[in-house]
Amino acid sequence: MEAQPVDPAAIGMLLNRAHRLARAHANDAARPTGIELQHAGVLTAVRAGGVRSQRELGAALGVDKSTLVRIVDDLEHRNLVRRQRSASDRRAYEIVITEEGERRLDEAGDLFAEAVAGLLKVFDDADQRRLHELLTRFVAQES
């Protein structure tokens, strides 16, 4: 007997639920640091360098302008980043991570990893490698 095809809508809904589950666990775990995944994405991109202006940062992260401004405002209010005038374009602002931002991002990163590792315990090592491979192929379509 042939296996029934998998409903693409069911896969889409499972991917959405998996994303929400992982995000919620990671954010809960890192709550003591005050860093959520959306903050970590911005802080990580800023720390990596190459992306300096808010416009470049939004494009690199695929985040719309208003959402990015809200996140950067929040990070700046918490003294995790600062805006400074660009030396090359006085109309633009560069986003710079602070020492406190570096420290809290490192703490949150460890907690995010522990939270997701806990969720992945339902899979053995081979299944985790296969899941990683499949998801890597899936998101590669984005480029």
Residues 99-140 have pLDDT tens digits of: 999 999 999 999 999 999 999 999 999 999 999 999 999 999
Mean pLDDT of 2-14: 93
% residues pLDDT > 90 (the chain): 74
Is pLDDT above 80 for 143? no
Mean pLDDT of 15-27: 97
Is pLDDT above 70 for 46? yes
Neighbours of 77 (CB within 10 A): 9
Distance CA 19, CA 91 (A): 37
Is pLDDT above 70 for 23? yes
Is pLDDT above 80 for 65? yes
Q: What is the DSSP letter of 113?
A: H
Domains of the chain with bracketed CATH? 20-142 (1.10.10.10)
Distance CA 112, CA 117 (A): 9
% residues pLDDT > 70 (the chain): 99
Considering only CA atoms, give the Rg of the chain: 18
- pLDDT number for residue 54: 83
pTM of the model: 0.83
